[in-house]
Structure 1
């Protein structure tokens, strides 16, 4: 069964009475070159496990099953389960788990299904859950070595944006705190059925064994970053003061100690400068 063939897709879906859900952002791949590239990019081999999120029609799942030792695919839409039962019938190392990836006990799932295997995430993520899913894996420090994800092209630019770039934002800093991100290749909207209104891109995030910078207070660090980017047109002095509700004099002192210009904009700061500024603010709190 050629899972990227449009006639095959329509026939299987009709046989199971499946209807696409706009709210779930369902779009199935019809470009046969994309999933092999994703499966290769995630580094799957017989010694490794792969967690897939939203297998859809099973195109990527099948490619992963041919490379990985074990594949577990989490699917929210129960009406797709019989479809996957047919399209993945020959894939003996694949298990489809019904559920919401944002609500499942992922730590328990990874331990139960993969044991001590090195595990990667590989998924064509629905656009509306990209950031929540990604940040859950990173913030909870779930035991995965990497995440290879197809996301909306604009989201890919934000997630992988380096400091000083136009696309850099709070989520860019958060990602670079936990991982080393890279855009691998773009996927045009014509590669899907039904065709979405946006193009996509495949990114890979290699999870770091330790955060890329050392901070005294993680919660305060991320609050600082969000405040800095909260009002992008303002200087870091004004945006941080406003966002954190702190006196400008206190922010000025911290900026001076961190060797950051008060007139700088948030996107001009490196993650190291954000960390230094956060640490200096923590010092000032302790001095008071």
Structure 2
């Protein structure tokens, strides 16, 4: 493993120094190079992942916020025509209007903001992000529970934990392992655009915590009889905790309560 020469704690930098892990992340991000016209890399660092992504796409925009690293990146990839190094904050850029993918070893402290950016980008097809393992497990239901953000976005986006990377694959070594989080925009959404406001209302009501349980929270808007019917249809016990309800069961609740 090569040891990176410059690290900024303020930017929450942990360089991916394991070549095998970088190659694996590139394969997971771009399974079929023929289907990757445009790729945006978040936090290119010293280019370890960039070098493995470049042969797998037609065009790669490598974003790097640390101005100390930009000249080295530019020099390293000056002879690679499909790579353009972009100096600046990825979060400040306007999403492309044509289909594109996002990949990156993201700064752990900025994970939520980067994920939100991806979810808001209309032309995003998928994002493959190296995050704290705990974050990836929480968002994908790997702990047996589901977060509000995952459930809210589920009709349009699928969340999966597709791999793990040990903490010793990074320099400096962080305190925790990392997870490879894959977010894919569905080609056919599970709900129509007109149904999405009702979906958001239902999920936010359920996660409000008002009433002491999911069943009680939903009764603030719906009658006990309708909520009981929806719970039976979804195969849920009235005492179930809101986080234990999978997105599929939420969809069934919505199907019954939206009538």
* Normalised TM-score (structure 2): 0.83
The corresponding residue for 2:58 is: 69
In the alignment, structure 1 residue 186 sits paired with structure 2 residue 164: yes
What is the CA deviation profile of residues 58-110 of structure 1, one whole-angstrom value per residue up to 9, with x for unaligned ones?
Answer: 1111111122111012222323212312333342211122333333211xxx2
Secondary structure of the structure 1 residue equivalent to 2:115: helix
The corresponding residue for 2:134 is: 154
The corresponding residue for 2:28 is: 41
The corresponding residue for 1:129 is: 110
The CA RMSD measured in Å over matched residues stands at 2.9
The corresponding residue for 1:167 is: 145
Secondary structure of the structure 1 residue equivalent to 2:81: coil
Secondary structure of the structure 1 residue equivalent to 2:182: strand
The corresponding residue for 2:41 is: 52
What is the CA deviation profile of residues 198-238 of structure 1, one whole-angstrom value per residue up to 9, with x for unaligned ones?
Answer: 11011222220232345754244234324433449942123
How far apart are the structure 1 equivalents of 2:116 and 2:176?
22
Secondary structure of the structure 2 residue equivalent to 1:177: coil
What is the CA deviation profile of residues 41-74 of structure 1, one whole-angstrom value per residue up to 9, with x for unaligned ones?
Answer: 1225256221111111111111111221110122
Query: Residues 163-242 of structure 1: matches in 2 within 5 Å?
Result: 166-214=144-192, 216-231=194-209, 234-240=212-218
* Normalised TM-score (structure 1): 0.75
How far apart are the structure 2 equivalents of 1:219 and 1:190?
44
Secondary structure of the structure 2 residue equivalent to 1:133: helix
Deviation at 1:37, TM superposition (A): 0.8
Secondary structure of the structure 2 residue equivalent to 1:174: helix
How far apart are the structure 2 equivalents of 1:74 and 1:220?
37
Any conservation in 2 of the 1:159–1:175 contact (CA below 8 Å)? no
What is the CA deviation profile of residues 220-262 of structure 1, one whole-angstrom value per residue up to 9, with x for unaligned ones?
Answer: 4234324433449942123446xxxx36xx3524413424554
How far apart are the structure 1 equivalents of 2:170 and 2:208?
35
Any conservation in 1 of the 2:152–2:199 contact (CA below 8 Å)? no
The corresponding residue for 1:267 is: 243
Deviation at 1:275, TM superposition (A): 3.6
Aligned residue pairs: how many? 253
How far apart are the structure 1 equivalents of 2:248 and 2:10?
39
The corresponding residue for 1:23 is: 10
In the alignment, structure 1 residue 256 sits paired with structure 2 residue 228: yes
Deviation at 1:266, TM superposition (A): 1.4
Which blocks of at least 5 consecutive residues in structure 2 are unaligned? none
In terms of fraction of residues, the more helix-rich structure is 1
1:60–1:42 Cα change, 3 Å: same
